[in-house]
Amino acid sequence: MEDGDSGGSRFNEMTRMWSEKGHEVTVLAGMIHGFESKKMPEYKGKYFVCKQQGNVSVWRCYMPETYNTNFRSRFFGYLSFASFSVMAGIFKAKSKYDLLLVSSPPLFTGITAYVLSVLKKIPFVFEIRDLWPESAIDTGVVRNKFAINLALKFEKFVYKKASGINVLTPAFRDTLVNRKNVPGDKIVCIPNAADFRFSDEYLENINVRILRESMGYNDKFVITYVGAHGIANHLIQLLDAADLLRNTNVLFVLIGDGMQKPMLVEEAARRNLKNVVFLAPLPKGEIFKYIIASDMGVSVLKRLDTFKTIYSNKTFDYMACKKPVLMIIDGISRDLIEKAECGIFAEPEKPDDIAEKILQCMSKPDMLLAMGENGYNYAKKHFDRSNLANKYIDYLHDIKHK
């Protein structure tokens, strides 16, 4: 995680705010940024690289460049990071720390948490951004019964050893309490949040008409997706919708990377979909410019019950930029945009419905404008990152003094 990374923005902001309040923060992170598959030249041939991000020390730990190519490579990448992050915690991060905070997935960060917790004799808090291994099992990424049983046992072990658990959605908490027998008083819910640092500056200072003109968007209805291009995201459904909308002025802009991106690019070319544009991962600030230049932002996942428990973090970026959300995820993400009145829901894996909802939105510009304002105001009230960072540090302080 570094300032401007396309991935990891949650902790980029959290750690920046904590350090500004006088806390000493050291981060152990991998050498592959966000959803990219290439190492920066400064990491090549090295096992550890320390970088300073404001007052935060970031130790980049070795990971193979094959990390994002397929599941087998990702699995070994996870194990590689677990091994080298433990070594970094022992031999590089030598300050006297009060506690450890680790974030999952991958579940293997629990290895780092437990080993360093024992060696340094400090508690650890385990954050759950996604229910794993459930999501990997439901998407078919993990099928081996031995691996599944091992993962479930390790998950139970980590939950037991953690001094506290933060979940990003209330649905995760319900699952842990009702299905995994985790004590409710061990769990707190501090969700993903809207990052207003870039959006407020850009909304105030950027001329959107000129920005759209510079991007070639003047006569387009632009729908932007930001994030991973993986199995769980199932972005083929956006290509299917684009196919149905090829005779309109709808343009899909897909920003990011992942295991399925080569297939998606090839498929878009095979179908001659000139209304789909793929962009490489971009720094956070640049991503916000693309969102602000868009007419809508889209949040999308594969149609699975597991994903009904997830808040799509990109949704909060769209809200912060006053953009209405095309929500192609059922469950609590749908509930969120309907409660905030900031978007429209389309059935996952139903291209006809996705295309129809887009056409509805295109015909109602005043509705889109109101949705954008509604989302911004709702996020300011309930999901402001600075407020949640304060709540989080208070929780960590309580864990430290238990």
- Whether 97 is covered by a domain: the verdict is yes
Instruction: Say whether both 264 and 188 belong to one domain.
Output: no
Write down the residue that tokens 């864990």 correspond to. Answer: 399
Instruction: Say whether both 188 and 243 belong to one domain.
Output: no
Instruction: Say whether both 118 and 187 belong to one domain.
Output: yes
Query: Residue 138 has what pLDDT?
Result: 75
Q: Which CATH number is 179's domain given?
A: 3.40.50.2000
Query: Residue 176 has what pLDDT?
Result: 94
Q: Which residues on adjacent β-strands are paired with residue 189?
A: 167
Residues of the chain short of pLDDT 70, as ranges, are 1-8, 33-38, 68-71
Instruction: Say whether both 362 and 389 belong to one domain.
Output: no
- Whether 3 is covered by a domain: the verdict is no
Query: Residue 35 has what pLDDT?
Result: 55
Instruction: Say whether both 298 and 214 belong to one domain.
Output: yes
Question: What is the residue range of 287's domain?
Answer: 196-382
Per-residue pLDDT reduced to its tens digit, 32-59 = 865 555 678 898 889 999 999 888 999 9
Instruction: Say whether both 220 and 83 belong to one domain.
Output: no
Instruction: Say whether both 301 and 276 belong to one domain.
Output: yes
- Whether 1 is covered by a domain: the verdict is no
Instruction: Say whether both 134 and 226 belong to one domain.
Output: no
Sign for the CA dihedral angle at 143, 149, 154, 159 comes to positive
- Whether 285 is covered by a domain: the verdict is yes
Instruction: Say whether both 76 and 131 belong to one domain.
Output: yes
Query: Residue 68 has what pLDDT?
Result: 63
Instruction: Say whether both 49 and 134 belong to one domain.
Output: yes
141: left (phi over 0), alpha (psi -120 to 50) or beta: alpha
Q: How many domains does the chain divide into?
A: 2
Instruction: Say whether both 213 and 316 belong to one domain.
Output: yes
